Structure 1
Amino acid sequence: MTIKVVRGNPTPEELAAALAVVRARAAAAAATPPGAPGPRDSWADPSRIAAQHVPHPGPASWSRTYWPG
């Protein structure tokens, strides 16, 4: 595995931290059995939106329509 710094001038500690994250993700991906579903991204989870309070119609409901709530 080769990691190339494209921009900036990271310190050795910053490079070590980034490498630790990349290696941990690679180890987690390698430990997952083939054909098993991967971890679900919480941003892609539809229940995240459904769990939020939906404003009910009323005289002040226009002020509660700003997304994401």
Structure 2
Amino acid sequence: MTIKVVRGNPTPEELAAALAVVRARAAAAAALPSGAPVPRDSWADPARIAGHRVPRPGPTAWARTYWPS
């Protein structure tokens, strides 16, 4: 496995941390039995945002576009 730093000047500790994450993800993917469905990343799951209330147009709608209720 080769990792190339394209920008910046990471410290050896930062490179070690990044490599540990990449290797852990690769090991977890390799541990799945063949043919098993790949677990979906929670950030990509549409159900994550389905329960949120969408602001309706009105005089106070701008105030609800950022702050959760």
TM-score strictly above 0.5: yes
Question: In structure 1, what is the Cα distance between the partners aligned to 2:11 and 2:54?
Answer: 46
Q: Which structure would you say has the larger RCO, counting Cα contacts within 8 Å and 6 or more residues apart?
A: 1
Deviation at residue 37 of structure 1 after TM alignment: 0.8
> Any unmatched runs of 5+ in structure 2?
none
Structure 2 length-normalised TM: 0.71
Query: Residue 34 in 1 paired to residue 38 in 2?
Result: no
Percent of aligned pairs with the same residue?
75
Deviation at residue 39 of structure 1 after TM alignment: 1.3
Moved over 4 A (4+): none
Q: What do the CA deviations read for 1:41-69 (whole angstroms, capped 9, x no partner)? A: 223323223222356x7xxx5217748x6
Question: In structure 2, what is the Cα distance between the partners aligned to 1:54 and 1:2?
Answer: 44
Question: In structure 2, what is the Cα distance between the partners aligned to 1:21 and 1:44?
Answer: 19
Root-mean-square deviation (CA, aligned residues, Å) is 2.3
> Any unmatched runs of 5+ in structure 1?
none
Structure 1 length-normalised TM: 0.71
Matched residues, number? 64
Deviation at residue 9 of structure 1 after TM alignment: 0.8
